[in-house]
Structure 1
């Protein structure tokens, strides 16, 4: 899963949000490393909705403009959960190899094999 997708799904894990709210939440959650532009965000929202990971929760008119709120679906929640498990396993493996390196051992086998 790409990092922007991870953060979009994470942003919607607590509650439905509209596009601008998602952009702000993603920026905050990522420590401002992931800054989504409107075009990028809305293309991702369309793709994630088509894939069934998100759904439109509701629409409301605000000052003559339509504001669409998105929510995480059960499939989106499952995909995010699977990514969390994958990331934890990868981080655990990396930490174990780093401990081996710091202890003076080899983090990889001589000859290039890992």
Structure 2
């Protein structure tokens, strides 16, 4: 029985070997989304677009968490060699999370959309 990725992300230190600014920005966004995601689910955006957007948020969240875990556990040398790819993946993960949150804003109550 393995440790849940979310638990590993929550216990992760706020320092990274490489690409620390990108990782910290992504970690802050992931933490924020993880905090509000249950409320978004409870708001039940019932349209098919809403359900697709919820799935996209969930997928983007998992992708971002895996990337953060990868950045935390990889060696400095490997991170330096794969630097451009890691930065690209981080930017894509952040953009996907932000876009999905933007899309869901119109499908949830105003109070929730403002967080």
TM-score (norm 2): 0.31
Higher relative contact order (CA 8 A, sep 6+): 2
TM-score (norm 1): 0.31
Greater C-alpha Rg: 1
Greater helix fraction, Structure 1 or Structure 2: 2
Greater strand fraction, Structure 1 or Structure 2: 1
